[in-house]
Structure 1
Amino acid sequence: MKQSVFQSALPSVSLRTFARRVAALAFGLSLVAASVSAAQAAPLKIGMTFQELNNPYFVTMQKALNDAAASIGATVVITDAHHDVSKQVSDVEDMLQKKIDILLVNPTDSTGIQSAVTSAKKAGVVVVAVDANANGPVDSFVGSKNYDAGVMACDYLAKSIGGSGEVAILDGIPVVPILERVRGCKAALAKSPGVKLVDVQNGKQERATALTVTENMIQAHPNLKGVFSVNDGGAMGSLSAIESSGKDIKLTSVDGAPEAIAAIQKPNSKFVATSAQFPADQVRIALGIALARKWGANVPKAIPVDVKLIDKSNAKGFSW
Structure 2
Amino acid sequence: MFKKLAKSSLFAAAATIAVLPMLGAVPAVAQDGENIDVTIGWVPPDITGVFKTATNFFELAAEDANKNGFNVKVLTKSPTSPTAFAEQVSIIEDMIQRKVDLIAVSPAEVATIKPALARATAAGIPVVVVNLLEPIDGVDVSSYIGFDNTQGAEVSAYSVVDYFGGPGVLGTGDKVDVEPGTYLDLKFWEDIASKLSAEDKAKIKARGAIIEGVAGGFYSTARLEGFRKVLEQFPGIEIVGGTCAGDWNREKGTRCAEDILQANQGNLDFIWAASNEMGLGAMLVAGSQNRLETTQDGAAVGDTKVAIFTNDVTPESVDRIAEGKMIAETTHGFADWGWFGTKFAVELACGLEVPKTFDIRPRSVYEANARNFYPEPKLEPIDWKTIRANCKKAD
Fold in common (TM above 0.5): yes
Taking the TM superposition and a 5 Å limit, the aligned residue runs for 1:164-313 are 164-173=205-214, 174-199=216-241, 200-222=243-265, 223-243=267-287, 244=289, 246=291, 247-266=304-323, 269=325, 271-294=326-349, 300-313=355-368
Task: Look up the SS of the partner of 1:155 in the other structure.
Answer: helix
Q: What TM-score do the two structures reach when normalised by structure 1?
A: 0.79
Change (3 A) 1:317 1:218: same
Q: Does 1:147 align with 2:147?
A: no
Displacement of 1:280 after TM fit?
2.4
Computing the radius of gyration from Cα coordinates, the structure with the larger value is: 2
Taking the TM superposition and a 5 Å limit, the aligned residue runs for 1:106-145 are 106-132=106-132, 136-145=139-148
Q: Which amino acid aligns with 1:249?
A: V
Q: CA contact under 8 A between 2:56 and 2:338: conserved in structure 1?
A: no
Counterpart position of 1:23: none
Displacement of 1:210 after TM fit?
1.6
Higher helix share: 1
C-alpha distance in 2 between matches for 1:100 and 1:245: 51
Q: CA contact under 8 A between 2:314 and 2:334: conserved in structure 1?
A: no
CA distances 1:272-301 after superposition (whole Å, capped 9, x unpaired) = 100122212223333444445445566544
C-alpha distance in 1 between matches for 2:261 and 2:290: 8
Q: CA contact under 8 A between 2:53 and 2:315: conserved in structure 1?
A: no
Counterpart position of 1:101: 101
Displacement of 1:264 after TM fit?
2.2
Greater CA deviation, 158-167 or 100-109?
Answer: 158-167
C-alpha distance in 1 between matches for 2:317 and 2:157: 16
Tell me the number of residue pairs that the alignment of Structure 1 and Structure 2 aligns: 285
Q: Which amino acid aligns with 1:233?
A: E
Change (3 A) 1:38 1:175: farther
Higher strand share: 1
Change (3 A) 1:35 1:197: same
Q: Does 1:159 align with 2:159?
A: no
C-alpha distance in 1 between matches for 2:62 and 2:218: 28
Task: Look up the SS of the partner of 1:309 in the other structure.
Answer: strand
Greater CA deviation, 186-195 or 130-139?
Answer: 130-139
Change (3 A) 1:73 1:36: farther
Change (3 A) 1:187 1:37: farther
Q: Does 1:48 align with 2:103?
A: no
Q: CA contact under 8 A between 1:273 and 1:310: conserved in structure 2?
A: yes
Q: Flag structure 1 segments of 5+ consecutive residues without an equivalent.
A: 1-31
CA-atom RMSD in angstroms: 2.7
Q: Which amino acid aligns with 2:246?
A: G
Q: What TM-score do the two structures reach when normalised by structure 2?
A: 0.65
Q: CA contact under 8 A between 1:160 and 1:250: conserved in structure 2?
A: no
CA distances 1:247-285 after superposition (whole Å, capped 9, x unpaired) = 222111011122222222335x3x210012221222333
Q: Flag structure 2 segments of 5+ consecutive residues without an equivalent.
A: 1-26, 166-203, 292-303, 378-395
